[in-house]
Amino acid sequence: MNHFEPEYETGCNIMPEKAQDPMKKQRVTRDASQIGVDIFLLFRDGILLDEAKTWLKLYIKRHAAKALETGSLDNAQLRLTHITGEGIDAAPVGTLFHGSASKQSRFGELKPNEKMQLQLHGLISFLLFAREYPAIIITEGEEIERLCSGPDGVSHIQDLRDDAFIIFVTDRKGMACARRQQLHAVPWEDQSQEPVIERTFLFNRTRQIKGFSSVTHEVRRKVTSYGKKAENRKTHHPVLIIGESRTGKELIANALYRVSGLEKGRFIAVACGTFTQGLLLSEIFGYWPGAFTSSDSHGGMGLIQSAAKGALLVDDMDAADDPAGLQGAFLRCLITDPPQYRRVGARPLKKPLSETADTWLMFTLNKPVREMIRSGKLREDFLFRFQRIIQSPRLSARPADIPQIALSLWKKSRSDGRPLTIPTLRHLRYLNTDWGANAGELQALLLLAQECLGENKLLTWTEAIDRVLEKGEDYLTWYENDPKRPVSSVQEPGRIGWASEKPGNRPLPSLQDPKARMAQPHIPSCELPKNTDDLIDVLKREIRTRPNTGLEIDVVKRVYRLHGQESVCEGERLEKRNYIEGYRHWYVLGTEHKDDADNESGLVRLLKRAYAEDTISRLIQSIGKETPSGKIHPYKVLLFLALHPDNSVKRKEMSAFLWDRKGNKPLTSFETHREILSRLMGITREKGPALRKGTVYQNHLLVLEYIGNEWILRLLAREKDISQ
């Protein structure tokens, strides 16, 4: 069936002679835009009807003509696909068009990957979830009905309706059906193909904006109508783009720049948050020599001038120090056309007081306008100077675009990962209709899921995505290693260990009061009892009842400090260090005192107090002597804490405790960790079970023993009654 050979390899010589020269000029911008349309010929018996043929021929002719007009016939690719009852083929265009029509245009073929997806999941899924170009479907009425009913019982009519770039070309019966279902359809008797041509070229001109939904289509329409060619455009109407962050404001600005044919000039974007406001103004408008201290003696050209004949995007106006002031600075250049501005330090007589630059100004805002006006951050007179305002729609307003956006994000982010398939894209699309995420969060979701997939090859994409979502929307939870704990215990101050101890002493914030609840920090730091013994009681209770390492260490710190002040040594400290290797925080026992031994035997004393006698009786037997010879490295003790039977400590957390104090290097990998443990375990290494990766030791006790001048660590199975 495959009579047709793609001709784009031997591109130049089949071009007609006249078109050679302008084409060569365009070769520079060859990759800039590829004009592509997918045409599906959907005939169950495999025979093209004559009307369809004539329509197709005409379309190809016009497409080529339009592409020539746009100036890049080189990439005007039409991909014809013939779907019959038997299978999917590249359409037999070679036999269809012997004449000049086939030579003037360029035909492509679906990529093998796309073809496979189309075969496996059917046309409708392919159209809705995996297509990258506008699609024209030439078919009969019955086929439309069959498409609408859906292959697997699930009807996607709403999505089909919403899609602005699926165009049906049918007979009369099909038209009736399409009208009933409110689909985009054109009768094939109709010889004027302008609407179809317009639409496909509209899409290809604004290709940076992803998605096919009607909401996005509106944006595309605005972009093309605002960005007419410079010669058609009498005035430089400045453009204001409003939308939340990561909804594609800059993409829209870029599309405007490309559509309007300003490629001769530059596209320059300034983010207002980057400089202080005075500096920003001198950056944008430029300055004359001596305008300020250390100004260049030749003066400086402003960005507005260096973007002349191009476009200047002033990004995130609301992030500036004084947004209203910044808007005031632009007021004058917004009314004059071309924009007239004044450099910093311009004086009459010597320098031109005001200059003009042929620059198209664009501004973006990422806060709601009404709120900004109300809070005085947006001047109304600034807003009124715009005739052209584009709202960048949120992702939740156009869920049908999620597959396309995900695909493009995926292609941009990394190419060697597991490919996104139609079921995955469909899963993303129907994930949650009121998903408040933006493109950035979508990207994060994909990357995190990719990490899951890398860790576990046997996982599928949808499983990985679900796993990521399970972990929660809070991005930070990925980097915290807290064992799972019920939300209520974090927020309710009443449930924290010692709060119930002496409730009369301080007023408990009421649980109903949200402010008080918010004010209560996660690790309580201010309300510990003063007395050391009470504190140790708290610690005991905490360690036995609640597996919360953060809290334990906090309390240990306190005990240690108090104790140290009293009897051991003043130089001891337990530091809290932040943000190392992705751990939110972790603790180091350190000392400023040189003689470690005594300090650390003080720690033994502390341990003796902190734990129940029976838990550490063996420990005490062997290390209880508080002599200088009984050296314990602090990290061993912390390890002991971490592996305490009542803790379920994750691997990462454990290795965070293991910190090589001498070489300033964190021992974070489990391998190093295991190596240390086995070194510590010494002779008993063969006897006890080896520590295994990824396991949580809940029912085991890690015991340090001092035998024969050597520290030995052993893993013991825990008896059940210890906690009682």
Does residue 410 interact with another protein by CB under 8 A? no
Tell me which residue of 651, 633, 539, 525 sits closest to 589, measured CA to CA: 633
As given in the structure block, the two tokens for residue 221 are 């329409």
Nearer to another protein, 156 or 367 (CB): 156
Q: Is there a contact between 383 and 324 (Cβ–Cβ < 8 Å)?
A: no
Residue in 120, 518, 519, 612 binding another protein, rule: CB under 8 A: 120
Does residue 116 interact with another protein by CB under 8 A? yes
Over the window 560 to 589, marking each residue x when it contacts another protein by CB under 8 A and - when it does not, the resulting string is ------------------------------
As given in the structure block, the two tokens for residue 550 are 């953060």
Q: 3-class SS at 228?
A: coil
Nearer to another protein, 83 or 361 (CB): 83
- Could you give the CA distance from residue 378 to residue 374 in angstroms, rounded to a whole number? 8
Nearer to another protein, 379 or 426 (CB): 426
Does residue 114 interact with another protein by CB under 8 A? no
Does residue 269 interact with another protein by CB under 8 A? no
Does residue 106 interact with another protein by CB under 8 A? no
- Could you give the CA distance from residue 213 to residue 127 in angstroms, rounded to a whole number? 12
Does residue 349 interact with another protein by CB under 8 A? no
Q: By CB under 8 A, which span of 23-31, 140-148, 404-412, 458-466 interacts with another protein?
A: 458-466
Does residue 383 interact with another protein by CB under 8 A? no
CA torsion 676-677-683-688 (nearest 10°) is -160
How many of the chain's residues bind another protein (CB under 8 A)?
19
Q: Is there a contact between 93 and 102 (Cβ–Cβ < 8 Å)?
A: yes
Q: By CB under 8 A, which span of 359-367, 393-401, 461-469, 475-483 interacts with another protein?
A: 461-469
- Strands of the sheet containing 360-365, edge to edge, are 267-271, 311-315, 360-365, 239-242, 388-391
CA torsion 553-558-559-563 (nearest 10°) is 140
Residue in 59, 133, 461, 706 binding another protein, rule: CB under 8 A: 461
- Could you give the CA distance from residue 621 to residue 272 in angstroms, rounded to a whole number? 67
Residue in 63, 66, 79, 121 binding another protein, rule: CB under 8 A: 121
Residue in 350, 457, 515, 530 binding another protein, rule: CB under 8 A: 457
Does residue 423 interact with another protein by CB under 8 A? yes
Q: By CB under 8 A, which span of 5-13, 81-89, 117-125, 270-278 interacts with another protein?
A: 117-125
Strand ranges (E), 180-336: 185-187, 239-242, 267-271, 286-287, 300-301, 311-315
Question: Using DSSP, how many helices (H) and how many strands (E) does the chain show?
Answer: 29, 22
Q: Is there a contact between 200 and 134 (Cβ–Cβ < 8 Å)?
A: yes
Does residue 450 interact with another protein by CB under 8 A? no
Does residue 112 interact with another protein by CB under 8 A? yes
Nearer to another protein, 388 or 418 (CB): 418
Nearer to another protein, 24 or 692 (CB): 692
Looking from the CA of 228 toward its CB, the CA atoms found within 13 Å total 9
Tell me which residue of 658, 604, 608 sits closest to 626, measured CA to CA: 604
Buried b (16+ CB within 10 A) or exposed e, 400-427: bbbbbbbbbbbeeeeeeebebbbbbbbb
Over the window 698 to 717, marking each residue x when it contacts another protein by CB under 8 A and - when it does not, the resulting string is --------------------
Q: By CB under 8 A, which span of 22-30, 360-368, 418-426, 709-717 interacts with another protein?
A: 418-426
List contacts with another protein (CB under 8 A).
112, 116-117, 120-121, 418, 421-424, 453, 456-463
